[in-house]
Amino acid sequence: MKSFNFEFEEERANHITFDYSPEADEDLDTTVENGVPILYANRPALLSLAKLFVKMALGEYKDGFHVHLRKDLNADEQDRLIVMLHASDTGKQAESVVAEQAVITD
């Protein structure tokens, strides 16, 4: 039987960190094929994402909190994916956030 144990310190509000190691060789990228987004990730990248998702799920983050994931989880690369936290009953709130972002970026 395999097990996944992960302990972490609570982070300050609106702040999250995750471990990145050049030696771990995380490969992460995204693309859209036939209109469907695809996340390509090797095992070290999947473990890093798992830890990040656990922190987001168990932390004291509010709706709209999000992280920008970059190619290969490397801060020197471009964004590949944004993961946003929202409750299932806040669909309309998420729509308004997107509309707000469109206004801000125009």
DSSP 26-76: --EEEEEETTEEEEEE-HHHHHHHHHHHHHHHHS-PPTT-EEEEEGGG-TT
pTM: 0.75
Q: What is the mean pLDDT of the chain?
A: 83
Domain chopping of the chain, boundaries: 22-105
| CA 62 to mean position of chain CA atoms | 14
| pLDDT score at 72 | 92
Rounded average pLDDT over 31-48: 95
Cβ neighbours of residue 7 closer than 8 Å, sequence gap 6 or more: none
Rounded average pLDDT over 25-34: 94
